[in-house]
Chains A and B, each alone.
Chain A
Amino acid sequence: MSAGNMSLTLKVWRQKNGKSEGNFETYSLDGISPDMSFLEMFDVLNEKLVSENKEPIAFDHDCREGICGTCSMYINGRPHGPLKGVTTCQLHMRSFQDGDTIVVEPWRAAAFPVVKDLVVDRTSFDRIISAGGFVSINTGNARDANSLPIPKESADEAFMSAACIGCGACVAACKNSSAMLFTSAKVSQLSLLPQGQAERKIRAEKMVAQMDSEGFGACTNTGACSAECPKEISLDNIARLNREYLGSKITSSLV
């Protein structure tokens, strides 16, 4: 990590646990390199806090390669910060100016309660997946290649939806804390492929029911979710989910 010369003021949300009241703490940080990632800058801050015998800031992170969906952070009013199509771990300090004040908050949604500081509980997403975001396949020998023809366009579209890493930026960006972009991407990636057809109808119904019961809001089609999504998941997915859900409700054998 090269030493740098950026000086920053950080206003970070500190909250002991889900029950306590939180508040902003202000920290001054010097010697930040523009080549550091945003999380590395937080590592430097935490080392400083530890050396001062203070509690380090809790934040989620794992792969730091932009593919796991673990990091979060609502930076200067935007999930994952100012860049388009980038997770917080792939955001670098060169995107900020020397002397900037940066406000860092956790995702805020009733369905994402704060665990500590910047860490929120996103298991509501896991429960939406458990409700129907899977295919039941009897395993056996590997099938012959091309025995199940899939048009290139369908494969590409499904892949675009499957690019969702489930980070929750869509919920964080949405004024309604709606999980429609996440749920629609997860429904789409399966409904577009032949393997997903068996459970297609029940999947849309169950995942939407779980999404509603978790306390996420309804979609107002503002488009903020897609604009902030680090994987740039398209709003087309939400229209598809609406079709899947309403079509399924009208035609499925679930009464």
Chain B
Amino acid sequence: MSWLTQTLSSSIGKKLIVALTGLFLCTFLIVHAVGNLQLFKSDEGLAFNMYTVFMTTNPLIKTISYGLYAFILIHAFYGFYLAYVNRKARGTTNYARINNQSSWSSRNMAVLGTVLLVFIIVHMSEFWYEYKFGHLPYKSYTIDLAQGTVVNTENMPADFVLNSKMEEKLNDDNTTKTIIVKDLYVEAQEAFSNPLLVLFYVLGMVAVSLHLIHGFRSAMQTLGANHPKYNPLFDFVGVWLFAILIPVAFAAMPIYFFVQHLMQ
């Protein structure tokens, strides 16, 4: 074995892999949350749908997203593998009584990770798969060029298909343009009119919160980042950004659509 594979197959090396991939997934969550905030824009989904086209066609983003899928799998594989090795290190006899002086989430990262893996599979089949392989409707937006506002929208017929995800053309009047785009927004609207799916998403975000309240700080510790000057920052980011702000922002999206659906 070379020194590198030896390092990465040591206990600390495996944890390094989990920590680095985990921190990458954390940065992805920030981007994903910020981008999806466009769902809250009251433009009937124009900004969100155009953002979706950008995220699925830009070569750099596409490359990173394949890396992301790989990182999720690597993170999950090493996480489960470590959980298995760690369980074996416990020996064959269990304690009859345990009064463990540690947080619940820190002891159940593999359980929370399993919940998140199920969440990711459902989430991707609900949206990613539908967008890529399903038959999403198209929507046409007419935009006033001077004002930049949407003046008219039209749902294209169900059998309408474009060769691309989006088409943009200047109208004859030279003051408006029309954008026809795959409508993932309506997919979100429809999906989150189902209360069970909304509940599933909210519970998924609780799992994200519990996973990251330990995960972020633990990843920093594994990288050796433990210093009185920076620990307050790590604690703040781990708790406020990753365990509160991001899960709440994500959970707000299905709730927003569900409330909208109820008010119709």
Residues of A within 8 A of B (CB): 11, 22, 24, 74, 76-78, 103, 105, 108-113, 173, 175-178, 208-209, 211-212, 215-224, 227-228, 235-236, 238-243, 245-247, 249-250, 254-255
A-B contacts, 13 of them at CB < 8 A, read A105-B97, A110-B89, A175-B100, A177-B90, A212-B11, A217-B87, A219-B12, A220-B86, A220-B109, A221-B217, A236-B226, A240-B224, A245-B10
Contact between B7 and A246 (Cβ–Cβ < 8 Å)?
Answer: yes
**Can you name 14 extra interface pairs (CB under 8 A) apart from A242-B221, A249-B13?**
A22-B93, A77-B98, A77-B100, A108-B91, A109-B89, A176-B90, A178-B86, A178-B89, A215-B88, A219-B12, A222-B102, A245-B12, A254-B3, A255-B3
Chain B hits for A219, CB < 8 A:
11-12, 15, 222
Residues of B within 8 A of A (CB): 2-3, 6-7, 10-16, 82, 85-103, 106-107, 109, 214, 217-218, 221-226
Chain A hits for B92, CB < 8 A:
110
Q: Name the residue on B nearest A103 (C-beta).
A: B97
Chain B hits for A243, CB < 8 A:
224
CB distance from B87 to the nearest CB of A (A): 8
Contact between A227 and B102 (Cβ–Cβ < 8 Å)?
Answer: yes
Contact of A111 among B85, B89, B214, B223 (CB under 8 A): B89
Contact between B218 and A221 (Cβ–Cβ < 8 Å)?
Answer: yes
Contact between B102 and A235 (Cβ–Cβ < 8 Å)?
Answer: no
Contact between B15 and A218 (Cβ–Cβ < 8 Å)?
Answer: yes
Contact between B97 and A217 (Cβ–Cβ < 8 Å)?
Answer: no
Known: A110-B89, A209-B10. Contact between A220 and B98, CB under 8 A?
Answer: no
Chain B hits for A240, CB < 8 A:
224, 226
Contact between A109 and B91 (Cβ–Cβ < 8 Å)?
Answer: yes
CB distance from B84 to the nearest CB of A (A): 10
Contact between A221 and B91 (Cβ–Cβ < 8 Å)?
Answer: no
Known: A78-B101, A173-B100, A219-B11. Contact between A238 and B221, CB under 8 A?
Answer: yes
